[in-house]
Amino acid sequence: MHELSLAKDIIDTVKQSLPAEELPKVRKIVLEIGTYSGVVSDSLNFSFEAITTDTELNEAELEIIEIPFRLKCNLCSNETEPEFPMMLCGNCGSSNTVVLSGDELKIKELKILEN
């Protein structure tokens, strides 16, 4: 995962979703990132800070919500949180599983300074 290009994507998305005059009021960008997505939160924060310095998003910070990696088993129907990249059910060990969560990578919310 390239955190720098991800940070640029986040900034582009924020710029597309808000009018230009609102951008300096953005205080927090809340992200949902799955533990399975491979994103390193610290490097994402570092990249984001580096490319927003002296821009209209200078005051904005990232708030990262980590979504755990969860599997549902098609054999025993249990939902477990095995250690990624184990794709085996934590209950019965079957490989007949589907990923429920953990690959998220999205902006959940923008927190904007109220007047």
Nearer to Zn ion by Cβ, of 43 and 94: the residue is 94
Bridging pattern class, strands 79-80 and 70-73: antiparallel
Number of residues that bind Zn ion (CB under 5 A): 7
CB of 94 to Zn ion, least distance (A): 5
Q: If we measure between CA atoms, which residue out of 79, 82, 59 comes closest to residue 69?
A: 82
Nearer to Zn ion by Cβ, of 23 and 89: the residue is 89
Nearer to Zn ion by Cβ, of 38 and 93: the residue is 93
Bridging pattern class, strands 70-73 and 97-101: antiparallel
Residues 56-115 close enough to bind Zn ion by CB under 5 A: 73, 75-76, 89, 91-92, 94
The residue type found at 56 is E
> What is the Cα 43 distance to its own chain's centre?
13
CB of 77 to Zn ion, least distance (A): 7
Running DSSP on this structure, what letter comes out for residue 18? S
Bridging pattern class, strands 26-34 and 61-67: parallel
CB of 90 to Zn ion, least distance (A): 8
CB of 71 to Zn ion, least distance (A): 9
Q: Which residues bind Zn ion (CB under 5 A)?
A: 73, 75-76, 89, 91-92, 94
